[in-house]
A = this chain, B = another copy of it.
Amino acid sequence: MSHKKYPFTLNEQLYLRDPERTLLGKKMVESAITLMDQQGFEHLTFRKLAAEIPSTEASIYRYFEDKYQLLRYLVAWYWEWLNYRLDQLEHIPADPGKRLRQALEMLANSAIYDPFFAHVDEAALCRIVVRESPKIYLTLDSQDNQALFMGYEKLLAKIGAMIHELEPNYARPKALVSSLIETAHRQILFAQYMPRLTELKIKDGDYSEIAVFLEQMTLAMLKSPTL
């Protein structure tokens, strides 16, 4: 397990000891996701995490400075994972419109389990990112900021490039793609927990209504004359 090549790497600022390199570290990540998802980041403590693993608080301190670094690690992991999935798609040759549509579909499915990473519950991780990341944005110093949003920026760049292929003159690709990403997250959240705030539905793990909404928004914006 620890010998399998890991398909992406995270900045060293995001941990003290790389949790992917030991079994104990992987359990930390796994349990941290479970606990944060269930109780919220605010109520996570190293004591509870240690009890869940089970291990000791002191052991966790060897891997992460504090729970904030652990959260940053998870959020950064999430963005890198989306990039990794996007890269997988690009192996498939296709016309620009189809590739963009696939990318949007992937965003709509951003809460879906990836068996390649056995110890990560991506659906739970996505909920964590949705809930907690706005808070991180406003707390960070620029150092941490860099490490965290490299993944987000790469994503904007890649999907922005697809847009450029389709509509070379579109003026605000980053604003559009970041809106698409955030809209995907929000509409998934609303569909699942506050159905009175949207008409979109998720039925039995089928996110196609979300995907269609994103596609519609994208196409409309690209055709629309920039005001």
Contacts and interface: CB of A to CB of B under 8 A. Distances in A.
Interface of A: 40-42, 127, 130-132, 134-135, 137-139, 145, 149, 152-153, 156, 171-175, 178-179, 182-183, 186-187, 189-190, 193-194, 196-200, 212-213, 215-217, 219-221, 223-224, 226-227
A170 to B, nearest CB: 10
A131 B127 contact: no
Contact of A175 (B131, B132, B152, B187): B187
A204 to B, nearest CB: 20
17 contacts: A40-B139, A41-B42, A127-B138, A131-B134, A132-B135, A152-B197, A171-B199, A174-B196, A174-B197, A178-B186, A179-B217, A212-B227, A216-B221, A216-B226, A219-B224, A220-B220, A220-B221
Nearest to A134: B131
A155 B219 CA distance: 27
Contacts of A213: 172, 175
A194 B138 CA distance: 9
Contacts of A152: 197
Contacts of A183: 179, 182-183
Number of copies: 4
B137 A134 contact: no
> What DSSP secondary structure best describes chain A's contact surface?
helix
Contact of A135 (B42, B139, B186, B194): B42
A137 B186 CA distance: 11
A196 B137 CA distance: 12
Contacts of A212: 227
Contact of A199 (B138, B153, B174, B186): B174
A220 B224 contact: yes
